[in-house]
Structure 1
Amino acid sequence: MDFRKIDDNISVAPQISVEDVAEAAKLGFRTLVANRPDQEEPGQPSMADIEAAAREHGLAWVFMPVASGNITDDDVSRFAPMIRDAEKPVLAFCRSGTRCTVLWALSSARNTSADEIFTKARNAGYDISGLAPRMAQQAREKG
């Protein structure tokens, strides 16, 4: 399992399996967030199966699918309060973990410096430097 810690509140991962949910629970995650649409690609585990495993292992489940390469401001606006209010720590997953990282970064830009966001993402293995203009736009929205 490839969990990548961004900070104490959130980690991201590439696509997880049903079996990975038990490991996530053992590691202390409290909320599981799926940012990948069901049936995005052939062979992908069903979100219903992952949700059932999350509930079986006592994890809160959030299904917030976002199209790869098409994260909207509405997606960011939905992600921000969900992460703020979720029982932590949160494990968010998508195909590669990048989509989750971008959602986190854009929603965090409203209250956190770009340098801090870039550093946390880079430490987790994601280069999101290309988001600088969009993060600046989010920072202007505050909140």
Structure 2
Amino acid sequence: MDIRKIDDNISVAPQIAIEDIAEIARLGFKTLIANRPDGEEYGQPPMSDIQASAEEHGLKWVYLPVASGHITDEDVDAFAPMFQEAEKPALAFCRSGTRCTVLWALSSAREQDPQDLLSAAYRAGYDLTGLIGRMQQQNNQS
């Protein structure tokens, strides 16, 4: 399992396995966020199985599927309040962790400096410099 901490409130990961959930809970995560649509890839565990295990281990479960490479403003609008209200720290996962990081950065840009968000994402291994214009638009809307 490749968990990458972005800040004290959120970490991201590529696709997790059901067997990873006990460790995720042991590490102190409170909320598990799935941003990957069910059936996106052959062999991907069903989200209902991940949800059942997450809840069994005391984690809050959030399922917000987003199409890879097609994150809309509506997706960001849905992620922002969900993340704000989620028990922290949260672990979000998708195929690679990138789409979770993009959702976090775009929604966070409404209240935080986009450059700081780019730096946090970069330290976690995600280069979001191509999103700077969109992040600045989010920042100007706040």
Q: What range is the shorter-chain TM-score in?
A: over 0.9
**Counterparts of 2:116 and 2:81 in 1: how far apart (Å)?**
20
**Counterparts of 2:22 and 2:141 in 1: how far apart (Å)?**
38
Q: Which aligned segments of 4 or more residues in structure 1 are displaced greater than 6 angstroms?
A: none
Cα displacement string for residues 18-76 of structure 1 (whole angstroms, at most 9, x for unaligned residues): 01111100000000000000000100011000000000000000000000000000000
Aligned-pair CA distance for 1:8 = 0.3
**Counterparts of 2:63 and 2:88 in 1: how far apart (Å)?**
16
**Counterparts of 2:126 and 2:79 in 1: how far apart (Å)?**
19
RMSD over aligned CA atoms reads 0.5
**Counterparts of 2:56 and 2:15 in 1: how far apart (Å)?**
19
1:18 has 2:30 as partner: no
Amino acid in structure 2 at the alignment position of 1:77:
D
Amino acid in structure 2 at the alignment position of 1:134:
R
Q: TM-score, normalized by length of structure 1? A: 0.98
Query: Any gaps of 5 or more consecutive residues in structure 1?
Result: none
**Counterparts of 1:115 and 1:71 in 2: how far apart (Å)?**
20
Query: Any gaps of 5 or more consecutive residues in structure 2?
Result: none
- Aligned residue for 1:23, secondary structure, equals helix
**Counterparts of 2:30 and 2:19 in 1: how far apart (Å)?**
16
1:94 has 2:61 as partner: no
1:121 has 2:108 as partner: no
Sequence identity percentage: 67
Aligned residues: 142
1:32 has 2:32 as partner: yes
**Counterparts of 2:61 and 2:137 in 1: how far apart (Å)?**
30
**Counterparts of 1:20 and 1:140 in 2: how far apart (Å)?**
39
- Aligned residue for 1:102, secondary structure, equals helix
